[in-house]
Each structure stands twice: as structure tokens, then as C-alpha cells.
Amino acid sequence: MTNKLSWKIGGEAGFGIMTTGYIFSKACVRAGLNTFDFTEFPSLIRGGHNTYQVRVEDREVHSPVKSVDILVALNRQTIELHEQELTPGGAIIYDSSLELERKIRPDVKVFAVPFLDLAKKAGGERLMVNNVALGVSFALVDFDLKTLLKVIEETFKDKGKKVTELNKAAAKEGYDYMRQLKPEFGHRLRKAKTMNRMLISGNEAVALGALKAGCKFIAAYPMTPASGIFQFLAGYEREYGIIAKQTEDEIAAMNMVIGAGFAGVRSMTCTSGGGFSLMVEAVGLAGITETPAVIVEVQRPGPSTGMPTQTGQEDLRFILSSSQGEFPRVVIAPGDVDECFHETINAFNLAERYQIPVFILSDKHLGESRTTTKVFDTRKVRIDRGAVLSDAQLRRMKQFNRYEDTKTGVSPRSIPGQRHGIYTATSNEHGESGIITEESEDRVRMVDKRMRKMKFIEREMPKPHVYGSPHPEITLVCWGSTKGAAMEALTWLLRDHVKVNLLHLVYLNPFPSDQVKAALDDGQKILLIEGNATGQLGGLIRENTGIEIGHRLLKYDGRPIYPEEIYDKVKEVLRHG
């Protein structure tokens, strides 16, 4: 089998598992192939079992799969935990110094490799056994060594020429060792037509979208799995004129974002569920002061600390109703890296156009997994700063009412420092001028004004995406990161001549009731796919359309939904109804 492979490396933290996996994937991309990377690691500062899985194909890939064709084991635990994932005819490459306590499956090829001896032969040390493993892996699938060595050189160049050459030598020793064995293996990788592709994670795509949107301030407190966004932007502070402020807690972060938005600066924060819990009160401040803010919530399983390094889709209802009272908001849940980039730009435009908080709802699986994609097309990107008054416009006004009751609910705003644009922004209810009031008429007017925005926001929301058969016997329904697995399963099912389509929702508030009802009200069976225990999107669909989805695939073990699970569930539903 050529250019179709699932490769996984596992071992103890501290032996470069993540770097090794990234190098393997990056080398495949450089050779013109497509990859999807998936990592697992425990919530520990040091130690624990780490894995990095790379799925490689010459077609576009959307998610990892359950099965593994090559398992590289740097310790015994990797074999014990992952041997059952190997496909028949798959291979285990393990350190020959390990004393295995049981026999490995007879339908799997086993290669005992003296990793440490080969690393020392190259002049290196124990920490370089991962590069030996890379060389062995490339030789097993008869892949180009030069591409691998070039990526290794790029990866370690900042550590100096000596370290770089030692790592390259270790990889070559592993490659030569396996080539001498002349192994028979059913998978081969070959260079494909080189395309203008990049390997990028969801968090990196969100950060790039923020840069393109003109974000100039990010405040955040580190919290897995959202920290990658902050770290990425902090790395480009000087180059792009961004201020990246690590705060003492999430309360401070959200309030700083509101302050920056009040000052006319495009600003954002990023966190996960526990951190967002601390931000909730300040979100209400953004709501009542009508201050633009972009909040990225990268979900992980809760409640409380939950599972910090695993994935889930448990915070949808929380985001939809966060903070007391009622005020407009937009909730966007991108499903892949392209949507992460473009919808982040949209989020900043919507936040300023309507002077509201806008939420981007991601999760660990989407945020930290890397995949190949075309270089983002930015030709149609437009920046909309909304209704900001000039000095001349303010001078001509008899009185500036910051919260003027307008047809759209959006009031023109001034920026601090404009001479005729001074106003009071308070967390209390207020009248059009911003002065605090408790009069019932003012209260009704301001609530109606704020909520009026939702009608106009709804008019410009993109329609939900529908993929697959125009006349399905079953429709898959999902949101956010489950898109990838659903797209893979859709491809497999269509190949089996199943009449199936996929409804993927990106914009969840305001909810696209009419489009969802039209997509689901055709007499077909419906399967809801979510990474939570209660079917939160399903409840939202029932609330807004009256449609109850009876068939459900709900997963809440902290791991992503796999395409095999969706495929099997669809077959079950079609069989038994």
C-alpha cells in the first residue's frame, strides 16, 4: 500500500516524543503528502506516557483513525497500551534492550532495534534515540532520507551545528540499520506532487487569524489547551506591534480586554472552561457597556479541573448563557483549521460592527492537533471597525449620546481622547448618554436597543454547511471539531453507496433555525454526533426547531470521536432504524 499510513510513537515524557512526531509529519508534508497529527499526554509537569500519531495520505485527511500501521515503542508501556491498535500486518519497532514480558501478536511484524547503541555509534547520547527511531521508520516504508535529514536540520539549527549534526547522524544510523535488514512491509511512502501546503494547528490558525484581523492586544492567564494561542502571539509582539499580557488571573485578563476594547484597540483573550468561569462577570460588563471583545474558549472535559490535557465539547450551553442578564452575543465553533483562521477574522469584525462579545468555541482536539491545508486565501479579507465617529463628526453634534437608540441597535462610538466624545461607561444600567438610571422606561429602551442587534446579526450569518447527498436516507449532525471525523466517515459511507449527508454548524448563536429545520425536515433518519454526555446541540435544535433527534453518538471519555465510530453507528442505525 502506497502513501497511506498511520504511524505512532510512544514513550516517557522527556525523550522528545512531540518533537519526533512533528518531524515525521513535517517531512511527509515536505514530500508533498497530507497529514493529520494527534497527540496524547497526561496532566503532569514531568513524566507520564506520551504519544504522537501521524496519519499520512496523498489525499486530504480530516482526522486521526483508531488503527495504527507502525508503532514505535521507546518503552515497554507503549507496547502494552497500544499493541491492540495495530492493523494485521502492521509493525512494532521497539528498543531491543526492553525485556518484553509477553509475546506480541503473531499477525504483527516485530523489529527489535538497538536504539541506544546506534545513537552512541553516531556520537550521540540517550536523548537522541528518537532520531534513530525516525530513521528506522523512514527506512521501513522505503521513504526519502534526504527530506528527513533536512527537516531535522531545520528543527535543531538553533541548538548549534554540533547538536544538529549528531541528530542527523543518529537518524542516518537508524535508516542504514533497517535498510540492511531488507524488511518486507506492506506500506510504502513516496514523494507526491509538491503542493503549496502548510502544517498547522487550530490554535496557530486562530492566532494567525487574529494577526490578520489587526488584533493589537491579548491578555490571558495560561490554561491548557488554550495557551498555544497566547504563546504564538507573544512570539510576534515586536514584529506585529502586539501587546501580549500574561495576567495574574483570568478575571484580570477579561477586564483588560474590555479596557483595550473601550480604548479602540482590537483585543482578545483565550482560556478554557475553568478559566472562563472566572471571566463570566466581566463578560457581562462587555455586554452592558457594548464593548467589543473576542473570547476564545478551547474546551476540555470538566467540571472543575476535569481532564486538562484531553478533549470535549461540554461548554456550549455555558457559553450561550454566560453572565447574568440578557445581552447579544455571537458564538462561533470552527470545525477545521481553515475555519479557525477565517472565522477569527469574522469574530473581530462582528465584535466591532455590533459592539458585542464574540466567542470562538474550540477544543483540545482541534486546537492542538496539526493538519495540512492550503495556504490561507486572504484576498477577500476585509476589516470592518464598525461605527466609529471622527473628530469632525463629533464637533458637529449638539450632544454625543454614546448609547443612542438607533434602528439597528448599534450606536456610533468615540475613542478615548476625542475632545467631544467623552461619555460614562458603567456596569449599571444607563440611558442614551451613559448616565446611570433606574427608570423603567430607560431600562426597557436600552434592553430593546441591545437585543435589536440580534435581528441584524442573524441576517448576515453564513448558512450552515451541508455536505454529501442532496437526498439522504440519513443525515449526520455535528458542530465544531467533530467535523473532521464526520467528513471522513461521510467519504467512506458515500463510497459504500449510502445516501448520506452531513450538517455541520459553525454559527450557534444566533441559531440558524430555518436552515437547520429545512435540512432535517425531509423524512430522513438523523444521527447527532457530539463530544458530551447530554447532546447539547441536540437540545438547542429541539428548542429552536421542535425537531427531536433520537439517534445519538455521544462521547465523553476525553478522547476525540473517530470516523470508525461514526461509520459503525450509521450502519447500526440503518440496519435497526
Same fold, 200-374 and 465-576: yes
CA dist 30 and 33 (Å) reads 7
Q: Are 22 and 370 in contact (CB under 8 A)?
A: yes
Provide the pLDDT for residue 101: 66
> Which residues have CB under 8 Å from 325's CB, separation 6+?
284, 287, 288
| In the chain, where the domains are located | 4-194, 200-374, 391-460, 465-576
* The domain defined by 200-374 carries CATH number 3.40.50.880: no
Q: Are 202 and 367 in contact (CB under 8 A)?
A: yes
Give φ, ψ of 474 to 5 degrees: -150, 140
465-576: CATH class:
alpha beta
Q: Which three cell numbers stand for residue 343?
A: 472565522
Provide the pLDDT for residue 102: 75
436-438-440 Cα angle (round to 5): 130
The structure's pTM equals: 0.96
CA dist 308 and 277 (Å) reads 15
Kindly state which CATH superfamily the domain 4-194 is placed in: Pyruvate-ferredoxin oxidoreductase, PFOR, domain III (3.40.920.10)
Adjacent-strand bridge partners of 176: none
Q: Centre a 10 Å sphere on the Cβ of residue 126 and count the other Cβ atoms it contains.
A: 11
Q: What is the pLDDT of residues 267-305, one digit of tens each?
A: 999 999 999 999 999 999 999 999 999 999 999 999 999
Helix (H) or strand (E) holding 91: strand 86-95
Per-residue pLDDT of the chain (577 residues), as tens digits, is 899 999 999 999 888 999 999 999 999 999 999 999 999 999 887 789 999 999 999 999 999 999 999 999 999 999 999 999 999 999 999 999 888 867 899 999 999 999 999 999 999 888 899 999 999 999 999 999 999 999 999 999 999 999 999 999 999 999 999 999 999 999 999 999 877 899 999 999 999 999 999 999 999 999 999 999 999 999 999 999 999 999 999 999 999 999 999 999 999 999 999 999 999 999 999 999 999 999 999 999 999 999 999 999 999 999 999 999 999 999 999 999 999 999 999 999 999 999 999 999 999 999 999 999 999 999 999 999 999 999 999 999 999 999 999 999 999 999 999 999 999 999 999 999 999 999 999 999 999 999 999 999 999 999 999 999 999 999 999 999 999 999 999 999 999 999 999 999 999 999 999 999 999 988 899 999 999 999 999 999 999 999 999 999 999 999 999 999 999 999 999 998 7
Q: What is the pLDDT of residues 422-435, one digit of tens each?
A: 999 999 999 999 99
Quick one: three-class SS letters along 281-316?
Answer: HHHHHHHHHCCCEEEEEEECCCCCCCCCCCCCCCCH
